[in-house]
């Protein structure tokens, strides 16, 4: 007679499975960051609490997806592209919301937020087409996605978001600048990973590599680091 059945199935891990390793670390890092942001909420007044709450939501949504991606990878050895893009389509627009929230002090309008959200959705949907649906045309879809990415970069570095940041000045301006660097450098890891993992004209100079290691490292930097910039801005503003 069967007396006990375990509902948890544990897949054996290969010690040289570095992709699997980064999925495990990703799960824990995203969880810990979420706990940190959520538990800090009480120390902020209403105005800054929303920004820190959104930081926590971003890492929390990522944590849940990392658990799925980790198991998917362990069970199949394939890239969990579907879960990856579901995660991004929820978290990247929330990062756009963060730009809007911190610039609200300078009178940012909701139209700025929707514009950024729209651009990020175009960037991700076209990226998904190239990576998962029309793999033969990865370079073309990647280029469209890249164009949307450049418009986002332009908007925050030189466009209206930059002007608002300058009007706000002080801590908001410095936080905005750091976030701009995240988008320019940290987000650039994603198209590099995409080129490592898809076929296109770029294969001659971009080495073939693990798309998942690139994405996992980029996610840790961009979601947790980005959230911490918002957190420290809130701490400074709260003290002032």
Judged by beta carbon, residue 105 or residue 121, the one nearer ligand RET is 121
Judged by beta carbon, residue 105 or residue 132, the one nearer ligand RET is 132
Judged by beta carbon, residue 37 or residue 187, the one nearer ligand RET is 187
CB of 5 to ligand RET, least distance (A): 37
Judged by beta carbon, residue 105 or residue 139, the one nearer ligand RET is 139
Judged by beta carbon, residue 20 or residue 191, the one nearer ligand RET is 191
Half-sphere exposure of 54 (CA within 13 A, CB side): 22
**Residue 95 Cα distances to 90, 120, 157, 213, angstroms:** 9, 10, 15, 22
**Residue 237 Cα distances to 49, 58, 222, 231, angstroms:** 11, 21, 22, 10
Burial label, 28 (beta-carbon count in 10 A; 0-12, 13-18, 19+) = exposed
Q: Which residues contact 166 (CB under 8 A, 6 or more apart)?
A: 173
CB of 165 to ligand RET, least distance (A): 20
Q: Are 89 and 121 in contact (CB under 8 A)?
A: yes
Binding site for ligand RET (CB under 6 A): 88, 91-92, 123-124, 127, 142, 145-146, 149, 187, 190-191, 194, 219, 222-223
Chain position whose Cβ is nearest to ligand RET: 127
Number of Cβ within 10 Å of residue 239's Cβ equals 7
Judged by beta carbon, residue 44 or residue 66, the one nearer ligand RET is 66
Q: Which two tokens stand for residue 8?
A: 């948890």
CB of 164 to ligand RET, least distance (A): 21
Judged by beta carbon, residue 72 or residue 190, the one nearer ligand RET is 190
CB of 179 to ligand RET, least distance (A): 11
CB of 188 to ligand RET, least distance (A): 8
CB of 192 to ligand RET, least distance (A): 9
CB of 25 to ligand RET, least distance (A): 15
Q: Which residues contact 82 (CB under 8 A, 6 or more apart)?
A: 132
Tell me the three-class secondary structure of 30-92, residue by residue.
HHHHHHHHHHHHHHCCHHHHHHHHHHHHHHHHHHHHHHHHHHHHHHHCCCCHHHHHHHHHHHH
């Amino acid at each position: 007679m069967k007396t006990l059945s375990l509902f948890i199935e544990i897949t054996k891990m290969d010690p040289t499975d570095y992709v699997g390793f980064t999925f495990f670390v990703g799960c824990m890092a995203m969880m810990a960051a979420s706990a940190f942001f959520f538990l800090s909420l009480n120390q902020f007044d209403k105005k800054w609490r929303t920004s820190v709450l959104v930081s926590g939501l971003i890492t929390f949504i990522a944590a849940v997806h990392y658990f799925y991606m980790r198991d998917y990878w362990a069970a199949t050895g394939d890239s969990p592209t579907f879960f990856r893009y579901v995660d991004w389509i929820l978290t990247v627009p929330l990062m756009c919301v963060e730009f809007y929230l911190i610039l609200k002090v300078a009178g940012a309008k909701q139209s700025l937020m929707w514009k950024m959200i729209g651009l990020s959705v175009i960037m991700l949907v076209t990226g998904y087409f190239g990576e998962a649906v029309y793999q033969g045309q990865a370079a073309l879809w990647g280029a469209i996605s890249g164009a949307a990415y450049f418009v986002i970069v332009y908007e925050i570095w030189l466009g209206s978001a930059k002007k608002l940041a300058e009007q706000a000045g002080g801590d908001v301006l410095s936080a905005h600048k750091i976030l701009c660097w995240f988008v320019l450098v940290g987000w650039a890891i994603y198209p590099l990973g995409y080129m490592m993992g898809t076929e296109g004209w770029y294969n001659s100079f971009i080495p073939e590599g693990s798309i998942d290691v690139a994405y996992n490292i980029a996610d840790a930097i961009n979601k947790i680091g980005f959230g911490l910039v918002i957190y420290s801005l809130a701490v400074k503003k709260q003290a002032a």
